[in-house]
């Protein structure tokens, strides 16, 4: 039997890290946390909002995208998690995105980000009221940044 992405032990652990870091920085839960870590990983993966994250590489690579994120960017898990996160924005918007991520790194989070993103198919969309937050492992060691939003609009070209 093939495991769903969210059932993999490393994804269950990462889901907990996303949820813990969010709650620590923002003071409330991203999703209702009930039952065990596996149930929470499943709830996060199928949540009605977009959740994505990247690591701390020099050119950060996406390392998590829930089903809404995969659908919005029109990618499989394997493609999504091999994509540099900068590629989610058009080249003309990457400098603005870079400044926003630097602000998040300094402040811990921002909670009203707005910007244009691009799907793998070239379809452009505007995200609004996005929350972007720093991710921390044990002893508050930085390990990436997460993002969530539930408002987006496709743009006509």
Sequential DSSP letters for 95-156:
HHHHHHHHHHHHHSEEEEEEEEEE-TTS-EEEEEEEEEEEEEEGGGEEEEEEEEESEEEEPP
The domain defined by 5-154 folds into Beta-Lactamase (3.30.450)
Rounded alpha-carbon distances, angstroms, from residue 91 to 85, 87, 94, 115, 146: 12, 8, 5, 13, 21
For residue 5, the model assigns a pLDDT of: 94
For residue 93, the model assigns a pLDDT of: 81
Spatial CB neighbours of 10, under 8 Å, sequence gap ≥ 6: none
For residue 36, the model assigns a pLDDT of: 96
| Mean pLDDT score of the chain | 93
Domain chopping of the chain, boundaries: 5-154
Q: Which residues of the chain have pLDDT under 70?
A: 1-2, 157
Q: What's this model's pTM, rounded to 2 decimal places? A: 0.94
For residue 95, the model assigns a pLDDT of: 84
Give tens-digit pLDDT for 30-65.
999 999 999 999 999 999 999 999 999 999 999 999
For residue 157, the model assigns a pLDDT of: 61
Whole-angstrom distance, CA of residue 129 vs CA of residue 149: 6
């Amino acid at each position: 039997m093939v495991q769903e992405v969210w059932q993999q032990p490393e994804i269950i652990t990462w889901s907990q890290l996303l949820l813990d870091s969010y709650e620590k920085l923002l003071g409330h839960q991203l999703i209702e946390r009930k039952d065990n870590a596996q149930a929470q990983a499943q709830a996060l993966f199928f949540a009605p909002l977009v959740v994505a994250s990247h690591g701390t590489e020099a050119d950060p690579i996406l390392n998590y995208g829930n089903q809404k994120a995969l659908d919005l960017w029109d990618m499989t898990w394997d493609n999504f998690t091999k994509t540099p996160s900068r590629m989610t924005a058009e080249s003309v918007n990457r400098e603005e995105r870079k400044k926003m991520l630097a602000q998040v790194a300094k402040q811990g989070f921002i909670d009203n980000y707005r910007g244009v993103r691009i799907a793998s198919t070239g379809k452009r969309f505007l995200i609004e009221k996005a929350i972007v937050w720093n991710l921390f492992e044990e002893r508050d060691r930085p390990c990436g940044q997460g993002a969530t939003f539930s408002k987006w609009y496709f743009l006509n070209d």
